[in-house]
Amino acid sequence: MYIEQLYTNCLAEAAYYIESEGEAAIIDPIRETEPYMHKASVRGAKIKYVFETHFHADFVSGHIDLAKASGAQIIYGPQAETGYKVYNAKDGEEFIIGKIRLRVLHTPGHTPESSCYLLIDENEREHAIFTGDTLFVGDVGRPDLLDGMMTKEELASMLYDSLNSKIKTLADDVLVYPAHGPGSSCGKNIGKETWSTIGQQKRTNYALQEMSREKFVQVVTEGLSAPPQYFFKDAMINKNGYESIEEVLSRNVNALDAAFVQKAIAAGALVLDVRAADDFEKGFIPGAVNIGLDGTFAVWVGTLLPIDRQLLVLAPAGREQEAILRLARIGFENVAGYLAGGIESWKAAGQPVKTIRSVTPEEFAADVIAGNTERKIMDVRRVGEFENGHVQNAFNSCLTGFTQSAPAALDKNEPYYIHCQAGYRSMIASSILSAAGFENIVNVKNGWSKIKDTGIPLEMPVKA
């Protein structure tokens, strides 16, 4: 038996390759088929099944293309109605892969069709459970993604039953393999690990503690931020079907000159600059939003940008197709192409360039301590991060939902320092504010991780 977690950092998503006796199964694949076909080929195995835990909302799954490429059968649990051919398994039904079996456990709650897959090994032991978005490390799937079809309270009540009757009854040593890790918007506050055990989750996961149904519904539904709007589009894509990734790339990977980009911007297109923050701040196209490839790129694109708006990509040389592929993974397919030659070709064409000033944590702290600044201090981390410690007199403006709330709520005439935990999110926020017409903003490099050690006055939670 062989199990491998295939983790995609920019999606905070885990797919799984499972193999026994030359037969393989894939659980929750991302959109491109090559990683799975290559792995099966190298290992001399044939992909027999593609299992889906539910209709994913945060990415476009590769199940349809992978099934076509491999000849595998697509398996969903009960209540999954699709616009293409699949096999809907019954609760408790088992699928043989070499000398092992996967048992379907219907676990509605995150969505009505959500199902987990329990792996029974060669020795008839319950070895691992692939939980999709039903159970994460330290969290559970959010129950508010059906867009009015069911209330979050109704789904949370279903999740209560699923966890108590299907998950908590498993042995403590059963491995837990979820579909997402930290950074995903499919949970409220997913833990930093990407796998666990049932016993560990029984001890530490707030949602697996003993409580009444009413209390469970309350704790699971409270504190939920609005889901990214692209979630509803992606869920429908996964339910109804989609174009192959090859067709999307052939349409979207286009080299564009500066003149075309300028005209497209005038017509309403948005420049998505995917370079590192240090490169972006030195010169960028006015109005561009910076979301760097070397971070949780897909999560923040999906959270902050409208899925239907036309995008123009500005990428580091050689990474243009990678950026467009990673956009397609989350259903962002309205891409005109990329700026050939990058920012240098834009400059060479005589087009305007903007910059953003950045300072070190030490420079920021010295300015604040000396009382030489009237800049307001904006912390764009999550609420929980902010509450666990922040700079004295800072205010929290969480990056999630930033495009809808922050620019309209702030005074363009006020000066601001902007920081996050390590510098990735603060440059995203700075670029959004710059695009909205804010001129007097300063980004603080390296964020809270370094700021807290500078001697700047802090406000920390009181320990009980």
Average pLDDT for 46-68 = 97
Inter-residue long-range contacts of 208-212, CB under 8 Å, 24+ positions, other chains counted: 208/135, 208/163, 208/167, 208/168
Q: What is the pLDDT of residues 5-22, one digit of tens each?
A: 999 998 999 999 999 999
Let me know: does 57 contact 66? Beta carbons within 8 Å: no
Q: Where are the alpha helices (DSSP H) in 291-423?
A: 297-304, 320-328, 342-348, 361-370, 383-387, 402-409
CATH 3.60.70.12 fits 2-232, yes or no: no
Sequence spans of domains, the chain? 2-232, 243-348, 357-459
365 pLDDT exceeds 80?
A: yes
Judged by average pLDDT, the poorest of 205-209, 253-257, 295-299 is: 295-299
Which position has the token pair 């807290």? 452
pLDDT in the model for residue 464: 57
Mean pLDDT score of the chain: 95
Query: Who's near 247: CB < 8 A, 6+ residues apart?
Result: none
Let me know: does 76 contact 53? Beta carbons within 8 Å: no
Q: What whole-number percentage of the chain has pLDDT above 90?
A: 90
Q: Whole-prediction pTM value?
A: 0.91
Report which residue type is found at 434.
S
Measured from the Cβ of residue 279, the count of other Cβ atoms closer than 10 Å reads 15
Average pLDDT for 264-269 = 98
SS3 154: helix
90 pLDDT exceeds 70?
A: yes
372 pLDDT exceeds 80?
A: no
More confident residue, 409 or 60: 60
221 pLDDT exceeds 80?
A: yes
Q: What is the pLDDT of residues 108-165, one digit of tens each?
A: 999 999 999 999 999 999 999 999 999 999 999 999 988 778 999 999 999 999 999 9
Average pLDDT for 231-249 = 95
Measured from the Cβ of residue 353, the count of other Cβ atoms closer than 10 Å reads 13
Cα(368)–Cα(297) distance, integer angstroms: 32
Let me know: does 261 contact 338? Beta carbons within 8 Å: no
Distance of CA 420 to the CA centre of its chain: 18
Q: Which CATH class is domain 243-348?
A: alpha beta
pLDDT in the model for residue 101: 98
Let me know: does 318 contact 382? Beta carbons within 8 Å: no
409 pLDDT exceeds 90?
A: no
Per DSSP bridges, beta strands 23-27 and 13-20 are antiparallel
Res. 373 pLDDT band, cuts 50 70 90: confident
Q: Do domains 2-232 and 357-459 have the same CATH topology?
A: no
Residue 73: its H or E element: strand 73-76
Residue 116: its H or E element: strand 115-120
Cα(133)–Cα(140) distance, integer angstroms: 7
Let me know: does 370 contact 362? Beta carbons within 8 Å: no
Q: Classify domain 357-459 at the CATH topology level.
A: Oxidized Rhodanese; domain 1 (3.40.250)
Report which residue type is found at 210.
E
Helix and strand counts by DSSP (H, E) for the chain: 17, 26
